[in-house]
Structures are given as structure tokens and as C-alpha cells.
Amino acid sequence: MPWYHDGCHGLSVRAGENVPAFDDLMIRGALARGAFACQRIQGLDRALNRELWSLGYVARLETDQPDRPTVLVESAIGR
């Protein structure tokens, strides 16, 4: 996913096992809106979750690779 802010060369996205493939398009749209709204890595996690929560999903940002963080999307527990 493109996101060229704060020294990054994009975002890798992985979906958890509990995320059905038929929700991919909605999730991609939510991720794009969240990424568009944020230009700093510190606020990206919050921006992505704000968009995903209404769909019943949450995201966790892993910054193992500083130039290409990974977004893990999972189903929100209890929803």
C-alpha cells in the first residue's frame, strides 16, 4: 500500500486468519482513508483503527522494518 511519509516507502498489509477475503475491498478503502489522513508514523496506528473499527476490524502496526512498516488487520474481538 502506498504511503510515502516519515521516511517510509509504503506499507505492507497482512490480514489475520479471521478476516474473510470478501471484506478485502472495504478494508483496503478504510486503510487508504486512514493513511491519507496521517503523515506521521506515530499517529498512523490510531488513524487506521479509527477507519477500521466501524467495519469490525482493528489494525496493529509493526515497525520491524523502519522504511516499510507492516499493518496487521484482525477482527475486533467482541464485535
In a domain, 39, yes or no: yes
Residue 30 CB partners (closer than 8 Å, separation 6+)? 48, 51, 52, 54, 55, 57
In a domain, 50, yes or no: yes
Q: What b/e string do you get for 18-51 counting C-beta neighbours within 10 Å, with b at 16 or more?
A: ebeeebeeebeebbeebbeebeebeebbebbbeb
In a domain, 37, yes or no: yes
* 51, HSE (Cβ side, Cα atoms, 13 Å): 21
Task: Specify the amino acid at residue 27.
Answer: I
The total number of structural domains in the chain stands at: 1
Cell output for 76 = 475486533
Chunked into runs of 10 residues, the chain (79 residues) has average pLDDT values of 89 92 94 92 92 95 86 84
In a domain, 62, yes or no: yes
In a domain, 68, yes or no: yes
In a domain, 30, yes or no: yes
Residue 2 has what pLDDT?
A: 87
20 lies in which domain range?
12-75
Residue 78 has what pLDDT?
A: 59
In a domain, 7, yes or no: no
